[in-house]
């Protein structure tokens, strides 16, 4: 069954996603980031601006399917459109319809009250579907 994890208290949500992606790539993981188009545009810019030693190449929405399949990181609006099914970073406000297609789903939650409230609803949705959920408090970890 798909593993679900919530990473709470990210002071800079997109910054944390960049660090998560960097770490995942060091372990040869394939990552899908699902988010609204505007968020994907901001994230793509941040991934390109990483330090040269941490270059985070990625495929963006609308790119050639063959390129997306070769890229270790794929940014999509709809997770079901990803060629990869290892790790899904869900940045949408709602549950991903394709969660069960992935080995792991990671929800990143900022310090924003609205983001936290929406995360609680997603947590309840995953629990109602029978997923065991892991909780990672980034404040306690010292990020």
Average pLDDT in the chain = 89
Please name each of the domains of the chain with its CATH number: 3-141 (3.40.50.10110)
Instruction: Please count the helices (runs of H) and the strands (runs of E) in the chain.
Output: 5, 6
Six-digit token pair at 105? 């789903």
What share of the chain in percent tops pLDDT 90?
A: 70
* Mean pLDDT of the region 7-20: 94
Six-digit token pair at 136? 């990672």
Q: C-alpha distances in angstroms, 96 versus 37, 102, 103, 131? A: 15, 10, 13, 13
Decide: 31 and 89 in contact? Cβ < 8 Å.
Answer: yes
> What is the tens place of the pLDDT at every residue in 42-58?
998 888 776 566 566 77
Neighbours of 66 (CB within 10 A): 10
pLDDT at residue 88 tops 70 = yes
- pLDDT band at residue 38 using 50, 70 and 90 as cut-offs: very high
Tell how strand 73-76 and strand 133-137 pair up.
Answer: unpaired
Decide: 88 and 74 in contact? Cβ < 8 Å.
Answer: no
DSSP conformation class of 128: H
Q: C-alpha distances in angstroms, 124 versus 94, 127, 141? A: 11, 5, 24
């Amino acid at each position: 069954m798909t593993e679900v994890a919530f990473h709470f208290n990210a002071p800079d949500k997109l910054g944390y996603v960049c660090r998560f992606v960097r770490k995942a790539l060091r372990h040869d993981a394939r990552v899908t980031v699902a988010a609204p188009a505007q968020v994907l545009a901001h994230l793509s810019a941040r991934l390109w601006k990483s330090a040269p030693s941490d270059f985070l190449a990625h495929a963006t929405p609308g790119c050639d399917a063959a390129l997306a399949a070769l890229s270790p990181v794929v940014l999509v609006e709809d997770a079901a459109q990803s060629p990869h099914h290892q790790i899904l970073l869900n940045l949408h406000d709602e549950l991903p319809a394709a969660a069960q297609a992935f080995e792991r789903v990671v929800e990143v939650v900022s310090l924003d009250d609205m983001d936290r409230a929406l995360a609680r609803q997603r947590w309840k949705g995953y629990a109602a579907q029978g997923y065991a959920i892991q909780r990672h408090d980034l404040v306690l970890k010292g990020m």
